[in-house]
Amino acid sequence: MKQYVEFNQETGNIISIGPSQEGNCIEIEDNLATSLKTGEKKIDDFKVLLNKENKKYTLREIRKDEELTKKFIEEQPASNVIHQLSETYKLADGVNIIQDVAKGEWSVKITGQTKTLIEGLTKTNKELKQLFYVTDKNNPNILHDTLVVDLNKVIEDDGTKLINFDKNRGKGFAVKTGIKEASGDIVGIFDADLEYSSEDLNDLIVCIRRESLNFICGSRFIGNKTRNNIYLRTSIANKLMSRLFSYVYKTKITDVATCLKVFKREIIENIDIEKNDFSIEIELIAKAISQTNNFKEIPISYNGRSYADGKKIKLMDGFKYIFAIYKFK
């Protein structure tokens, strides 16, 4: 019996697997269908993407490393379609296709996290281009237009400020600089290597406002969100340090090394940051707790990099974390 994958046309995510051909579906091999159903292969590792060669959808296994990070650059999923002539169509985080009705032309504007990613890539490739397919809402194999876009020319000023240093001065120095340059009543700290999700960052911002918290941390060790590539030794060390921190500071923290945190401005501005290395994560939480107990953790997803992909934290950083726990008490 033939097996089909039903998928979300906007995101490429798999909805169901089986013999049914309802909704947006493509046929897949029986052995792959079995592997996905039994859990031998993870459904989250696959997306349905538009094949640039034949303009048809194919099921692709997305490795949670460079391919996921650069999927926007390398192979853009089909757009959510153009069925009303004056709409803006959001393809990915901050990627919009717009049609000029008078001229009958399509244009692309890029903002947000994707803008930051592209700015980094265009530093080394001044002629970086991206191919977009504008397809029909009801039939993704109907191609309205093909756009070849010079990415340097479509990055919009959305208030994002990119600050460069002449040399690597450490994470703590970068965070201190970012806090000084940031505006607004909420300040978020978020690693740019895409191990953490911008959607989770938004959830933290919504939560800190809704519940009138003074700060909030994302935890990789509560809830059931998708987590990939968390090394066992790292997980054990983090949990032990979180327990030690909780004991020393008489509080409850499950992920003391999290790199996703949001603070009210008056809290973060009262923190005199001393550390320039990774132990700044301990310092920030310790000094925030010294000001207030009005905080919480919420579950976040995580897509860790491997050391081959550039992950930098080492065993020595663990000892620095422990030292910082006692230093800032």
Question: pLDDT higher for 22 or 94?
Answer: 22
Tell me: the pLDDT tens digits for 104-120? 566 667 666 666 666 66
Q: Where are the domains of the chain?
A: 1-62, 64-158, 171-327
Per-residue pLDDT at 269 exceeds 50: yes
pLDDT at 3: 87
- Local structure of 50: helix, strand or coil: strand
Nearest Cα to Cα of residue 20 among 33, 38, 31, 39: 33
pLDDT in tens, 114-161: 666 666 665 655 666 665 555 555 555 555 555 666 666 666 555 566
User: What does the mean pLDDT of the chain come to?
Assistant: 76
Between these two residues, 205 and 68, which has the higher pLDDT value? 205
Where do the DSSP E strands lie in the chain?
3-7, 14-18, 25-28, 46-50, 57-61, 88-92, 95-100, 105-110, 129-135, 143-150, 186-190, 215-219, 227-228, 260-264, 295-299, 302-303
Give residue-wise pLDDT tens across range 234-246. Answer: 889 999 999 999 9
Statement: 171-327 belongs to CATH 3.90.550.10: yes
**What percent of the chain stands above pLDDT 90?**
26
Pairwise pLDDT comparison (178 vs 193), residue with the higher score:
178
Say whether pLDDT at 1 is over 80: no
Amino acid at 43: I
What's the whole-number mean pLDDT along residues 40-62?
73
Looking at residues 16-26, what average pLDDT do you find? 83
| Contact predicate 82/144, CB 8 Å | yes
What is the pLDDT, as a whole number, of residue 255? 95
Indicate whether 68 pLDDT > 60.
no
Contact between 82 and 134 under an 8 Å Cβ cutoff? The reply is yes
Q: Is 98 exposed, middle or buried (0-12, 13-18, 19+ CB in 10 A)?
A: middle
The pLDDT of residue 88 is 42
